[in-house]
Structure 1
Amino acid sequence: MTYDVIVIGLGGMGSAAAYRLAQRGKRVLGLEKFTPVHAHGSSHGGSRITRQAYFEDPAYVPLLLRAHEMWDQIERDSGEHVFHRVGGVIVGDPASGAITGSRASVEQFGLKHELLDASQIRERFPGMRPAADEIALYEPGAGFVVPETAVRAHLALAQQAGADLHFEEPVTSWGEGRVTTTRATYEAEHVVVCPGPWAPELVGDLGIPFEIERQVQFYFTPDDDFRDHPIYIWDRADGTNFYGFPEHDGAVKVAFHSGGQICTPETIDRTVHAHEVEAMAAATRPPMPGLAGTFQRAATCMYTNTADRHFVIAREHDVTVACGFSGHGFKFVPVVGEILADLVIDGATRHPIGLFDPARLRGSA
Structure 2
Amino acid sequence: MTGITVIGAGLAGSSAAWRLAQAGHEVVVLEQDTPAHRRGSSHGSARIFRYAYAERLYVDLVRESARGWAELEAAGAALLTRTGALDHGEGHDPAGFARVLAAAGVEHELLGAAEASARWDLEFTTPVLWHPGAGVLDAEAAVVAMLDQARAHGASLQQGWRVTGVRRHGRGYRVHAGDGRWVDAEQVVVAAGGWLPDLLTELALPEAFTAALPLLEVRQEQAYHFPYTGDGDNWPTFIHRTEDMVVYGLPGGRDAGWSGQKVAEYNGGRRIRSAGAQDGVVHGENRRRVVAYVERHLPGLVPEPYAETTCLFTNTPTEDFVIDRAEGITVLSACSGHGAKFAPLLGELVTALVEGRGTVPERFRPGRASAARNRP
Q: Same fold (TM over 0.5)?
A: yes
CA-CA distance at 1:149 after TM superposition: 0.7
Aligned to 2:32: 33
Match of 1:265 among 275, 282, 294: 275
Match of 1:278 among 288, 296, 302: 288
Q: Distance in 2 between matches of 1:274 and 1:210?
A: 26
Identical-residue share of aligned pairs (%): 34
Render the CA deviation track for 1:130-182: whole Å, top value 9, x for unaligned.
Answer: 12xx1111111111101111111111111121111001111121132211123
User: AA paired with 1:81?
Assistant: A
1:143 aligns with 2:135: yes
Q: Distance in 1 between matches of 2:368 and 2:267?
A: 23
Render the CA deviation track for 1:213-233: whole Å, top value 9, x for unaligned.
Answer: 111111122223322211111
Aligned to 2:100: 105
Paired residue secondary structure (2:234): coil
User: Structure 2 matches for 1:161-172, cutoff 5 A?
Assistant: 161-172=153-164
CA RMSD of aligned residues (A): 2.0
Question: Normalised by the size of structure 2, how large is the TM-score?
Answer: 0.88
1:43 aligns with 2:52: no
Render the CA deviation track for 1:284-307: whole Å, top value 9, x for unaligned.
Answer: 222212324432111111111112
Greater shift, 37-46 or 244-253, is seen at 244-253
Match of 1:173 among 165, 168, 182: 165
Unaligned runs of 5+ in 2: 371-376
Match of 1:242 among 247, 254, 265: 247
Q: 1:247 to 1:298 in 2, by over 3 A?
A: closer
Q: 1:159 to 1:324 in 2, by over 3 A?
A: closer
Q: Distance in 1 between matches of 2:291 and 2:323?
A: 36
Q: 1:222 to 1:277 in 2, by over 3 A?
A: farther
User: AA paired with 2:7?
Assistant: I
Aligned to 2:62: 64
Match of 2:311 among 301, 323, 333: 301
Aligned to 2:374: none
Render the CA deviation track for 1:168-207: whole Å, top value 9, x for unaligned.
Answer: 1111211322111235221111110111001111224522
Q: Distance in 1 between matches of 2:187 and 2:276?
A: 28
Unaligned runs of 5+ in 1: none
Q: Distance in 1 between matches of 2:62 and 2:222?
A: 25
Aligned to 2:365: 357
Q: 1:106 to 1:35 in 2, by over 3 A?
A: same
Paired residue secondary structure (1:44): coil
Aligned to 1:19: 18
Match of 1:221 among 223, 227, 247: 227
CA contact (8 A) 2:31 2:161 kept: yes
Match of 1:118 among 107, 110, 113: 113
Render the CA deviation track for 1:85-115: whole Å, top value 9, x for unaligned.
Answer: 111111124xx44425423421331221100
Greater shift, 215-224 or 31-40, is seen at 215-224
Q: 1:225 to 1:82 in 2, by over 3 A?
A: same
CA contact (8 A) 1:228 1:246 kept: no
1:348 aligns with 2:357: yes
Q: Distance in 2 between matches of 1:101 and 1:268?
A: 37
Aligned to 1:317: 327
User: AA paired with 1:107?
Assistant: A
CA contact (8 A) 1:226 1:247 kept: no
CA-CA distance at 1:43 after TM superposition: 0.8
User: AA paired with 1:62?
Assistant: D
CA contact (8 A) 2:45 2:252 kept: no
Q: 1:25 to 1:324 in 2, by over 3 A?
A: closer
CA contact (8 A) 1:227 1:246 kept: no
Q: Distance in 2 between matches of 1:33 and 1:124?
A: 46
Aligned to 2:122: 128
Match of 1:251 among 252, 260, 268: 260
Q: Distance in 1 between matches of 2:369 and 2:86?
A: 32
Paired residue secondary structure (1:173): strand
Q: Distance in 1 between matches of 2:135 and 2:180?
A: 41
CA-CA distance at 1:349 after TM superposition: 4.1
Q: Distance in 1 between matches of 2:33 and 2:174?
A: 21
Paired positions, count? 352
Aligned to 1:194: 191
CA contact (8 A) 2:15 2:343 kept: yes
CA contact (8 A) 2:95 2:110 kept: no
CA-CA distance at 1:361 after TM superposition: 9.2
User: AA paired with 1:88?
Assistant: A
Greater shift, 102-111 or 12-21, is seen at 102-111
User: AA paired with 2:364?
Assistant: F
Q: 1:148 to 1:247 in 2, by over 3 A?
A: closer
Render the CA deviation track for 1:208-256: whole Å, top value 9, x for unaligned.
Answer: 32111111111122223322211111111x3222111135322211111
User: AA paired with 1:202?
Assistant: L
